Copies of this chain bind each other. A is one copy, B any other.
Amino acid sequence: MQETKAQRTRAQILSVAQHEASLVGIDALTLGGLAASCNLSKSGLNAHFGSKEALQIAVIDAIAERFRVEVAQPAFSVPPGLAQLDAIMVHWIAWSDHPDRPGGCQLIAASFDFDGMEGNVRNRLADWINAWRSVIADAVGRANGVDKTNLDPQQTSSLAYGLYMAQHVERLLLGDESASPRALTQWRRHIGHDDT
């Protein structure tokens, strides 16, 4: 057997942790609650990571990896241009709205929890946010070249994040089901992409 028991258990913990983090936030995860959800003892679970901080970082990394598969890869299978910018937002919002994330995107929510903290978790999170920002900005730059547009990469990247966060709050705090399509409409208007 190539895959050891520990690897399987660890993967299961991280899967459950991602689900719980969507509901309560990465910072509010507890070893005890997580252990109960995994039918593990608190110490048995902790043995896989060593500390809560290490667990949180592992959760962030697991989320980021899944994000790469579910959002980045599909979006960048579309050739550069406005259609790619459109695909980025489509898959990004689908990620936030996915049934596996009943409380929405964990990383965006964590941004507001950790912005006033210090430490490794905050730094790892900031690294990821920065990375995805850069990915979007680069896609905007390429779209300018391909489709002869003149979008500011920085500003467009900020706008993407803003629409994404607005959609999160409107949908989950205010219960506005039209928030997601509205964000997508707004994005398409800004980048000047006709969705037909």
Contacts and interface: CB of A to CB of B under 8 A. Distances in A.
Given A162-B159, A162-B162, A174-B130, A169 B111 contact: yes
Interface residues of A, number: 42
Given A116-B23, A116-B172, A165-B166, A158 B183 contact: yes
Interface stretch (A36-44, A62-70, A101-109): A101-109
Contacts of A35: none
Most buried by B among A108, A154, A166: A166
A126 interface: yes
A51 interface: no
12 contacts: A25-B113, A25-B116, A108-B112, A109-B112, A112-B168, A129-B169, A155-B186, A161-B166, A161-B170, A162-B162, A162-B166, A165-B166
Interface of A: 22-25, 103-104, 108-109, 111-116, 122, 125-126, 129-130, 133, 154-155, 158-159, 161-170, 172-174, 179, 182-183, 185-186
